[in-house]
Structure 1
Amino acid sequence: MPFMKGPAPVRRTIKYLNSGQLILKDKIKIFSVNYNTFGKHHEGAKEFVFWNIPQVQYRNPNVQVLTLKNMTPSPFVRCYYEDGRDLLVDIDSRSRHEILEHLIKVLGKTKAQLDAEARLAERKDNPANFGYGCDRHCICEIPGQLPCPGTVPLPNHMRGKITHPRF
């Protein structure tokens, strides 16, 4: 399995990617992390990029995620909103867990918002569903499907009662 090669291949598993806690607000369109690959005060930012950025990208498919390396004296996160504003978050000398907790508090959706979205996603009925509690009682109500055998008898060749001679 080629996807299980490289440093910490667990980062590419679906279970790990789904376990991400940072779900950004809908108004955020660009999420960028600026850090250096050297320096003691950049360690938390470097670990955050390594362990948590894949989760952020997976859980926020409509957000562009950028990582800019070796361009700044101190690490920071900058978020750009859809109306043109931006927000700067200082992550200097913080561990990756502190960074994640702070970003969830500042940029993430609240627990109430996530619960409301989950309830709305559950309620959404798929038009392909039929049966008790759905819009359609039977598949025969969909145009192009065979009618119910209870109302219109099936053709003989579909009943399995008549055998055809073999050629």
Structure 2
Amino acid sequence: MPFMKGAAPIRRTLQYLEAGNIIFKERVKIFSIHYNTLGDNHRGTREFVFWHLPQIQFKNPNVQVITLKNMTPTPLIRCYLTDGSDMLIDVDDCDKDKIHDHVLQVLGKEKQTLKMEATALEKKDNPANFGYMCEKHCICEIFGQVPCPAVVPLPKMWRGKYKNEQV
């Protein structure tokens, strides 16, 4: 399996990508990280990019994520918002977990909002849903489907005992 090669191949698995919990607010449009590949004060930012950036990209498909290497003396995160303003986060000498928690607190959606969005996605009024706690109890109630044999008998040619008997 070629995707399991390289440094920490677990980062490319779907289970790992779905485990990320940073989901940005709707107002975040561009998320850029500035850091250097050398230096002790950039170590936490490098680790954050290595471990958490794939999850951020996976969970936020409508947000542009940019990494700018070796262009700044101190590491920082810059976010551009929908109203045209930008937000700077200083991550100098911070470890990856501290950066993760701070980004989640400042730019992430609240847990209550995420729960409300998850319940909205489970729409119960979808006509394709049927069964217990749904609008339709059986698929036979949906227009264009074969009615239940208990209500309307099936044609004899569709029934197994008649079909197998004629052969």
Larger mean Cα displacement after TM superposition, 156-165 or 74-83: 156-165
Query: Superposed, which structure 2 residues align to 1:122-133 within 5 Å?
Result: 122=122, 124-125=123-124, 126-133=126-133
Shift of 1:165: 4.7
| Counterpart residue identity of residue 102, structure 2 | H
Superposed structure 1 runs of 4+ greater than 6 Å apart: none
**Letter aligned with residue 18 of structure 2:** N
112-121 vs 71-80, which deviates more?
112-121
Partner in structure 2 of residue 119 of structure 1: 119
Q: Distance in 1 between matches of 2:50 and 2:161?
A: 65
Count of matched residue positions in the alignment of Structure 1 and Structure 2: 165
Following TM superposition, by how much is the alpha carbon of 1:164 offset from its aligned partner in structure 2, in angstroms?
Answer: 5.7
Code of the residue aligned with 1:119 in structure 2: it is T
Hey, what does 2:78 align to over in structure 1?
78
Q: Which residue of 2 aligns with 1:160?
A: 160
Distance 1:120 1:45 in 2: 35
TM-score normalized by the length of structure 2: 0.91
Q: Separation in 1 of the partners of 2:49 and 2:129?
A: 41
One-letter code aligned to 1:74: T
Matched, 1:87 2:87: yes
Q: Residue 43 of structure 1: CA displacement?
A: 0.8
Aligned partners of 2:115 and 2:147: how far apart in 1? 41
Q: How far is the alpha carbon of 1:147 from its aligned partner? A: 1.7
Relative to 1, partners in 2 of residues 1:146 and 1:49: Cα closer, same or farther, differing over 3 Å? same
Partner of 1:148, secondary structure, is: coil
User: What letter corresponds to residue 88 of structure 1 in structure 2?
Assistant: L
Percent identity (aligned): 58
Q: Please give the secondary structure, in 1, of the residue aligned with 2:77.
A: strand
- The equivalent of 2:99 in structure 1 is 99
Instruction: Report the equivalent of 2:17.
Output: 17
For the residue of structure 1 that corresponds to 2:80, the secondary structure is strand
- Alpha-carbon distance in structure 2 between the residues aligned to 1:130 and 1:105: 39
What is the alpha-carbon distance in structure 2 between the residues aligned to residue 7 and residue 99 of structure 1? 22
Matched letter for residue 26 of structure 1 = E
Structure 1 portions without partners, runs of 5+ = none
Uncovered stretches (5+) of structure 2, i.e. residues with no partner:
none
Deviations 1:66-104 (A, max 9, x none): 111111111111111122221111111111111111111
CA-to-partner distance for each residue in 1:25-79, whole Å, 9 max, x for gaps? 1111111111111111111111110011011111112211111111111111111
Aligned partner of 2:142 in structure 1 is 142
What is the root-mean-square deviation of aligned Cα atoms in Å? Answer: 1.6
- Which amino acid in 2 is paired with 1:81? L
TM-score w.r.t. the length of structure 1 is 0.91
